[in-house]
Structure 1
Amino acid sequence: MSSLLERAYNPDVLTCLANLSNDEVFTPPELANDVLDMLPPEIWSDPTIKILDPCCKSGVFLREAAKRFIKGLEREYPNLQERVNHIMHEQLFGIAITELTSLLARRSLYCSKFPNGRFSVVEFDSSEGNVRQRTVQHTWANGRCKFCGASNAEYDRDKALETHAYEFIHTNDPERILNMKFDVIVGNPPYQLSDGGNGVSAAPIFQLFVEQAMKLKPRYLSMIIPARWYAGGKGLKEFRDSMLSDDRMRKLVDFESSKDCFDGVNIAGGICYFLWDRDFHGQCEITNVQSGKKNSMVRKLNEHPVLIRSNIAVSIVRKVLSRTQDMWSEHALPRNPFGFATNFRGRAHREAGDIEILTSKGFQYISAKDVTKNANLVGHYKVLIGRLVPSNGELDTNPADGYRVITDTRIIGPSQINTETYLDIGVFPTEAEARNFDIYLRGKFARFLLRQAISSLNVTRECFRFVPNMDFTKTWTDHTLYEAFGLTASETEIIESTIRDASKPGDPNE
């Protein structure tokens, strides 16, 4: 029994909370300390440093920072109580995201949810101390909040209910919230909110916390955010362009699998945290973390319009781009090329003048006259893939098994089209070219390059920006492609070990 208790016992409640999963992910203490480790060590012995967590949930960042200050300021304040008083009153500040998390954060930081009570390790006049929480309402415009994009239909609630209108991002002037300057801003913001699209659509909001924090002009900014901003994400292009072009981004730690960062939490596209240093100008140190193994490289974030997350893939992409600028993203068709939505259904029986349309229910029939978009392509061969990365983004894929990247390909012929359920990634006048492209796309070389521009669940034609266009009157194998682009043995081994073999033609999709 004692050995069972030893295995099950967890002395830190914040570690237990970190195993919860939602869009407001709690931060494990170990991860919080990894983030704080990026800051210069000398700040912990500086009594003038002020730290803000503008998205407090468990209070773990402030608690772990307090531990460091307590040790670092021992010489400055030999008396422990005087030291704690100074740290709690003058150096650590938080803005809680909900009333419940404000109580939790105060309990973590002050050892009491009421810092003016007798159980608090430090005495405040107010019941909130330096962990602030205010109930804020959304500002509606055309059915959405003008600050965070939340759906009016879902979040216009009774004032007694939690609205998820986070104070820090629901203002044009965040400096007025606390009316002070901060040296360090650190946190793990909420990731997204429903925007009312089709009842299941969600808009990212984590970038709003980063942008608001930068308005405060701290010396250092560090946040844990989803990594989907690297190459995709709804409404994230402006944020991506800004982050990639900012030479004050000093460090970026990348987790392709969110489970390597948050135990048991699945976040498509993975997770990252960064250090933005106001007084630094230079290239960024990017560290890939996978199953506990780390790989670091100093490079420019804006080498490409999207961020290639994998350090080991950089040299391969550079070789491909040095030999051709003709990329397949310029040749694939855009989403829904024939104008038929995913939920479109044709007729079960054929009539004169009909063509076939591939829907999520299989082939059905429509009149050829109903095709008013790209009608000139009806007579071509089309190579199709699904619009989503297989197996929910391959979140549970063991890297040792390799990644599929795309669903199985499918070729449809003349007088056949498809709904938006599928992505028409290649359209060719001859069957031979379509089949050669299909072989190419099912190869490891093309899928490896495709993977470098995918950052979430979705595959779009823009994801093919690193996949080169080839002469598809010829058949290309991975071996001939490795030779054509001058890849070394170690580079080919990276591709071979990263990407699994494609299933045989005709195998069912997963």
Structure 2
Amino acid sequence: MTDQAPFTLKGRNPDVLTCIANLSNDEVFTPPEFANRMLDTLAEGWAAANGGADIWADSKVTFLDPCTKSGVFLREIATRLIKGLEGEFPDLQERVDHILTKQLFGIGITRLTALLARRSLYCSKHATGPHSVAAVAFDDNDDGNVWFERTEHIRDGDRCRVCGAGKTFLDRGPDEENHAYAFIHASDISTRLGELFGGTMHFDVIIGNPPYQMTGGAGGTSDSSIYHLFVEQAIKLEPSFVSMVTPSRWLAGGRGMDEFRATMLSCGKISQLVDYPVSKDVFPGVEVKGGIGYFLWSKSHEGQTAVTTIRGEETVGPVGRDLNEFDIFVRDPRAIKILHKVQAKSEPSITEILTGDTPFGIATNFENYEQRAKAGDVALHLVKQGKRLVGYLPNKFIKKNAHLVDLWKVLTPKAGSDGGQKIPDVVLGKPLVVEPGSVCTQTFIAFWADSEAAALSIRSYYTTKFFRFLVSLRKITQDALRGTYMWVPQQTWDRTWTDAELYEKYGITEEEAAFIESMIRPMDTGVA
């Protein structure tokens, strides 16, 4: 080792991986402290499944980071193995060579991150370079076991059939990053890994922080989530453990997440789930709507999941939970008893008097309205440049729910707060009672009522903390679409509702009421 840098990974001041800037909100570098928390969770799971064995003292365990960026997972695993395998390999160089050639593997997501990962793991961007701690171990393979080559999208018209990437990415030249991640663009991932690393590959542990979405994935302005594709591909490889960082929005929402959520919540293989409702508690300076978290999937696990929720200095759990108790995951276990009390009455859901998205078929950016009404026009409620306005249009523009035009309505903004990023949370935007002869753009969804008195009663109910608390259990991101109101029961629309009446009706204890009050902010509608 006379020509190589000593393999000492601790004691740097500062650790360079705590200093580098993120590539984007979707390709976020994992802080070393957070990576080590995940590795602690992995070690606990391994010990529980293997009679108390120490994973870091096992020279046969193989690890794959299929979406390595900074190389932090591989580096921190190497550090632990170097200490744990000292008894089996007393010679440091022999130990390092074994770990780096036989146990640790990574797939870079870009050329840059592959170089960065090699620098973190081998102390050199060239695995066989003069400063590499394992230069003699890789022969002529300068990439070592951290692989990257440009992968092509699988084109289906103007988008990628796998990840939904649009023309922006599909049409990039050979010298540009096209973000076609190799791990998820392989129809037979086992065979592909054999091609990348040589021979039949089996990994005991797959761990990483995958990219979260493809911007403009449908060839337009929408974003296509892709992090779940990494999880699904990893599980296909049948490892003993999978642990990945993901946005928490899959627990209760997210476009295209229904099948993934149902599978993950019902599989019974998630032994631990750690949830951070505020993403900045994990990634300072980065906001991921709905928060961030990680899970430990264990092939041998059966039964409940140990769930831990961390918000700032407050930690709730670990609490044993059945993840499939509901169709979505309720993040805070303190809410479960309250929800059970509400559901015990088996009342109709308020969604029965609530429209879906784009209530009247009029898009948010609709411009074909007038400032003044003409004979036969209906009022159009819209938001433009952050201001609520009223315009007028003829009936011919109403494409949906024409039967609701002449009813009283309570309009509620489709977008509310950011899914509990700040507590207490207002949850929903201010409601607006509108007269018959009115419609709205996609900015709103609408409750309907037969009379003004009923509409005012619905508004009073909507503004209670009780109502918005029940919505918050299903609302994990900014959008509050019809499904987020599913657990709110209907009432009789003959009074002004208050929290005190609702707490009494549903048998909410003083402790439970205090919990609701601590989570939900008062709503000032500006109405006397």
Q: Which residue of 1 aligns with 2:342?
A: 320
Give the equivalent residue in structure 2 for 1:76: 88
SS in 1 for 2:19: helix
The within-5 A match list for 1:239-254 is: 239-254=260-275
Q: Give deviations 1:184-209, integer Å, cap 9, x for gaps.
A: 00000000002355843111000000
CA distance in 1, matches of 2:219, 2:391: 25
Q: Which residue identity does 1:109 align to in structure 2?
A: L
| Residue correspondence of structure 1 range 61-460 to structure 2 within 5 A | 61-123=73-135, 124-125=138-139, 126-179=141-194, 180-197=201-218, 199-296=220-317, 297-345=319-367, 346-361=369-384, 362-368=389-395, 370-390=397-417, 395=421, 397=422, 399=423, 402-424=424-446, 426-460=447-481
SS in 1 for 2:183: helix
Does the alignment pair 1:58 with 2:70? Answer: yes
Counterpart AA for 1:475: T
Give the alignment's Cα RMSD to 1 decimal: 1.7
SS of 1:86 mapped into structure 2: helix
Cα distance change on mapping 1:372 and 1:69 into 2, 3 Å: closer
Following the alignment from structure 1 to structure 2, what is the Cα–Cα distance between the partners of residues 17 and 328? 48
Distance 1:466 1:472 in 2: 18
Distance change (3 Å), C-alpha of 1:224 and 1:161: same
Is the contact made by 1:251 and 1:276 (CA closer than 8 Å) also made in structure 2? yes
Deviations 1:410-455 (A, max 9, x none): 111111111112111x100111111111011111001011011012
**Equivalent pair of 1:379/1:415 in contact (CA under 8 Å):** yes
2: CA distance, partners of 1:18 / 1:445 = 41
Match for residue 5 of structure 1?
Answer: none
Percent of aligned pairs with the same amino acid: 45
Q: Take 2:185 and 2:219, find their aligned partners in 1: how far apart are those partners?
A: 25
Structure 1 residues 51-100: Cα deviation after superposition (integer angstroms, max 9, x where no partner): 00000000000100011111111111111111111111111100111111
2:419–2:472 Cα contact (<8 Å) kept: no
CA change 1:66–1:289 in 2 (3 A) is: same
Q: Deviations over 1:252-281 (max 9, x none)?
A: 000101011111110001101000000011
Matched residue type, 1:107: R
Separation in 2, partners of 1:144, 1:369: 34
* More deviation, 131-140/342-351: 342-351
Structure-2 separation of matches of 1:232 and 1:329: 17
TM-score norm. by structure 1 comes to 0.93
Tell me the amino acid that sits aligned with residue 511 of structure 2: S
What is the CA–CA distance in structure 1 between the aligned matches of 2:23 and 2:284, rounded to whole Å? 9
Q: Which aligned pairs between 1:28-67 and structure 2 lie closer than 5 A?
A: 28-39=31-42, 40=46, 42-67=54-79
Question: Cα distance, 1:17 vs. partner?
Answer: 2.2
Q: Shift in Å at residue 380 of structure 1?
A: 1.0
1:302-323 CA-to-partner distances (Å, cap 9, x unmatched) read: 1111111112212211221122
Q: Classify 1:164/1:369 alpha carbon distance in 2 versus 1 (closer, same or farther; 3 Å).
A: closer
User: Which letter maps to 2:271?
Assistant: R
> For 2:246, what is the secondary structure of its paired residue?
strand
Do the aligned residues in 2 keep the contact of 1:140 with 1:152 (CA within 8 Å)?
Answer: no
- Using the TM superposition, give the Cα deviation of residue 360 of structure 1 relative to its aligned residue in structure 2, in angstroms: 2.2
Are 2:217 and 2:224, in contact at CA under 8 Å, matched by a contact in 1? no
Seen in structure 2, the aligned counterparts of structure 1 residues 348 and 165 have a Cα distance that, compared at 3 Å, is same
Q: Matches of 1:329 and 1:288 in 2, distance apart?
A: 29
Residues 493-504 of structure 1: matches in 2 within 5 Å? Answer: 493-504=514-525
Which residue does the alignment assign to 1:471?
492
Deviates more, 1:404-413 or 1:306-315: 306-315
SS at match of 2:203: coil
Change in CA separation of 1:272 and 1:479 when aligned onto 2, cut-off 3 Å: same
Contact kept, 8 Å, 1:144 with 1:195, in 2: the verdict is: no
Instruction: Output the TM-score relative to the length of structure 2.
Output: 0.90
AA aligned opposite 2:275:
D
Distance 1:108 1:405 in 2: 42
Supply the distance in 2 between the matched residues of 1:58 and 1:49 (Cα, whole angstroms). 22
Q: Is the 8 A contact 1:143 1:153 kept in 2?
A: no
* Aligned-partner SS, 2:25: coil
Q: How many angstroms does 1:371 deviate by?
A: 3.3
Partners of 2:377 and 2:393 within 8 A in 1: yes
Deviation, 1:359, is 2.2
Distance 1:198 1:19, change over 3 A: closer
1:4 is matched with which residue? none
Query: In 2, Cα distance between the equivalents of 1:149 and 1:339?
Result: 26
Give the drift of 1:120.
0.7
Check conservation: 1:342, 1:420, Cα contact below 8 A.
yes
Moved more, 347-356 or 404-413: 347-356
Q: How far apart in 1 are the matches of 2:100 and 2:375?
A: 80
Cα distance in 1 between the residues matched to 2:186 and 2:306:
33
Counterpart Cα distance in 2 of 1:289 and 1:439: 33
Unaligned segments of structure 1, at least 5 residues: 1-8
Superposed CA deviations along residues 190-230 of structure 1, whole A, max 9, x for unmatched, are 00002355843111000000000001000000000001111
Q: Distance in 2 between matches of 1:153 and 1:63?
A: 34
CA distance in structure 2 between the partners assigned to 1:479 and 1:440 by the alignment: 12
| Whole-Å separation in 1 of the counterparts to 2:439 and 2:328 | 31
Distance in 2 (alpha carbons) for counterparts of 1:165 and 1:471:
54
Structure 2 equivalent of residue 3 of structure 1: none
Give distance in 1, aligned partners of 2:480 and 2:361.
18
How many residues in Structure 1 have an aligned counterpart in Structure 2?
493
Q: CA deviation at 1:475?
A: 2.7
Q: Is the 8 A contact 1:250 1:276 kept in 2?
A: yes
Segments of 4+ moved more than 3 angstroms: 18-21, 195-199, 368-372, 392-395
Give 1:490 shift: 1.1
Match of 2:29 among 20, 26, 29: 26
Asked if the contact 1:187–1:224 (Cα under 8 Å) also holds between the matched residues in 2, the reply is yes
